[in-house]
Structure 1
Amino acid sequence: MNIKPSIEEINELFQKYSINEQIMEVKQLSGTTAGRVFRLRASSGQQYILKWDDPEQIQITCEFLEAYSDVRLLPKVLFIDSDNTYFAYSYLEGETHYNRGSKRVWLTFMVKELFNTYVHIADAEFWGRTEYARETWKEFNQISIDEARENLGDVLGLEDYHLVQSTVNRLFQKDEAARFLLHGDAGVHNVVFKEKELIGVIDPSPMVGPVLYDFLYAFCSSPDDLDPALLWEIFEHLEQVDMDKSRLMEEAMVHLYCRIGLSNKHHPQDLPEYLEAWDLWKRLCEKH
């Protein structure tokens, strides 16, 4: 099919998969290096996403969305090519990042409607992303903090890195946590808001890990309200994790370090707030 498919070609695709919609408008969106993404508008007013990407990535994404097809926050798959070269799914109209309201509200809703639905994978033999499988959860975390250290440059010093490194060494000596199928990229950049209300979570990067990973990733994904008391308050709604406050705070500190690295690389405007939060979390964790 052409680099930008015509409306006629897309309607033929919909007919092929017995989708009774007449597509009237096609708009190309920014995609991945390997992918092409189009937003489609039907005569009914419904909108869809049609995406070409790496076949392995499409297969993994569709398996995740189909495993959680009853979760109302996730897009619904309409069809997938037999060779996994493209697929179509429902479009969630809103905005990411901004106008999201309070973290207490949207993250609590996310816990109840997404994280508490996660499925335990008893027979998984790896950790992390299927395309980059790791033998241990510590190995997965080690890669994250090493990347963060590189991204941080001189923003945080060796003392901070050694604090996080020693915390990871101690917390993840053994793979004690249960493995679940996770979204893997559940930050505010993939959370859709409409009129300050969370309406969806998009663009999964599926992985195997503890439920706590997605929860702390979401909590640290924006620099506002990085308050330990708020974290504990929302954590108490998380049904499949049992943990004391000191352990939760230490794991949150590891996530925060990694997020500050990403902020320095991609969103330096957020750094002042993140660094203020880092000083707080670092002091609290050093007391334990």
Structure 2
Amino acid sequence: MEKINKIIDVLESEGSLKDDDIELKRMNSGTTSGVLYTLLLDRNPAYVIKMDDPKIISSTKDFLLAYKEISVLPDVIYADENDNYIVYTYIPGKTHHNRGSKLEWMTILIRELFTKYNKINNDTSWGRVNGIHRSTWSDFNNISFQLAHESIGNYLPNEDHRRIKELVEKLRGYHDKEEKYYLHGDTGIHNFVYNSNKLVGVIDPSPLIGPRIYDFTYAFCSSPDNMNIETLLPLFALWKDNTPLTEERLIGEVIFQLYTRIGTCIKVHPQDLSSYTKVWSQWREYLS
């Protein structure tokens, strides 16, 4: 508790805490490796204190500050100069549950986040800000394919693996002309805060330099419910704006994202696997 007490002292000296009754609650860190606390003022959750590897704190801080005008992201209250921790506003609600319809919460994501991403200079490498940088987006996809293939193994037939490998090669033609964007990088329901069946916040970025389509398809595939063409196409029409992106490519990107999602499920979300398998049986019909 010595470290957290020092953080409280810093916040008090910065004027973020006044004469309030202060209480701390350790949070379940979920999919993040860091240590999280909710800081309550007069019994009301006010801030989140996140302690983690300095590289993670630094990239989180940079992303939140770059997009500080976006309402669904938390506001940075204080960032440690050595990047040992960050303090940001608490967003009331719960992740995963009581989401409402996918059409509704993805519409909010598109309007409040996905259409507001910044383009990045071409000199910047593709890939995770904190990961291995790639010279092309296709390199990133190839690694994702290899990891998913290893996880899935015999769970899917060899024919499906072969078709996905061909799809990755087909998508390469689009990616060679792709513009780079500064993305959240982990836009799944585990990082979406819902309140009263409405999406109200997006937390825990894993910043990524990638094409705009990535976060869109990642979010769409992050839960197996309503993963159908009837839900996808209206969202695509809302998202695409003036982007010259065809339905054929969109469907290809969704299928590849779904494939990698199945690989993730086998490793860390086995409870969702049967639902995704049913979805896969429908989407694989679009593979040529």
TM-score class, shorter-chain normalisation, is over 0.9
1:204 maps to a residue whose letter is: P
Offset at residue 16 of structure 1 (A) = 2.9
Secondary structure of the structure 2 residue equivalent to 1:204: coil
CA distance in 2, matches of 1:96, 1:51: 17
* Mapping 1:34-183, distance limit 5 Å: 35-43=34-42, 45-131=44-130, 132-173=132-173, 174-183=175-184
Offset at residue 86 of structure 1 (A) = 0.9
CA offset digits 1:134-167 (Å, max 9, x no partner): 1110111111111111222321122111111111
Offset at residue 124 of structure 1 (A) = 4.0
- 1:263–1:270: 8 Å Cα contact kept in structure 2? yes
Aligned residue pairs total 283
Two-structure CA RMSD over aligned residues (Å): 1.8
- 1:212–1:241: 8 Å Cα contact kept in structure 2? no
Partner in structure 2 of residue 231 of structure 1: 232
CA offset digits 1:241-271 (Å, max 9, x no partner): 3311111101110000001111122222222
Secondary structure of the structure 1 residue equivalent to 2:154: coil
CA offset digits 1:95-146 (Å, max 9, x no partner): 1111101101101111111101101112442111122211110111111111
Which one is further off, 163-172 or 199-208?
163-172
Match of 1:15 among 4, 12, 17: 12
- 1:95–1:193: 8 Å Cα contact kept in structure 2? yes
- 1:58–1:85: 8 Å Cα contact kept in structure 2? yes
Q: TM-score, normalised by structure 2?
A: 0.92
1:27 aligns with 2:39: no
CA distance in 2, matches of 1:260, 1:139: 20
Offset at residue 203 of structure 1 (A) = 0.4
**Cα distance change, pair 54–144 in 1 and its aligned pair in 2 (3 A):** same
Offset at residue 20 of structure 1 (A) = 3.8
Secondary structure of the structure 2 residue equivalent to 1:11: helix
Which one is further off, 107-116 or 259-268?
259-268
Gaps of 5+ in 1: none
CA offset digits 1:36-61 (Å, max 9, x no partner): 21111012835211111111111111
CA distance in 1, matches of 2:176, 2:215: 17
CA distance in 2, matches of 1:107, 1:176: 26
CA distance in 2, matches of 1:69, 1:206: 15
CA distance in 1, matches of 2:192, 2:53: 23
CA distance in 2, matches of 1:124, 1:91: 35
Secondary structure of the structure 2 residue equivalent to 1:236: helix
- 1:221–1:259: 8 Å Cα contact kept in structure 2? yes
**Cα distance change, pair 34–233 in 1 and its aligned pair in 2 (3 A):** closer
Offset at residue 33 of structure 1 (A) = 7.8
- 2:32–2:204: 8 Å Cα contact kept in structure 1? no
**Cα distance change, pair 23–66 in 1 and its aligned pair in 2 (3 A):** farther
CA distance in 2, matches of 1:170, 1:150: 21
- 2:23–2:43: 8 Å Cα contact kept in structure 1? no
Which one is further off, 262-271 or 244-253?
262-271
Partner in structure 2 of residue 259 of structure 1: 261
CA distance in 2, matches of 1:143, 1:212: 18
Identity %: 38
- 2:191–2:202: 8 Å Cα contact kept in structure 1? yes
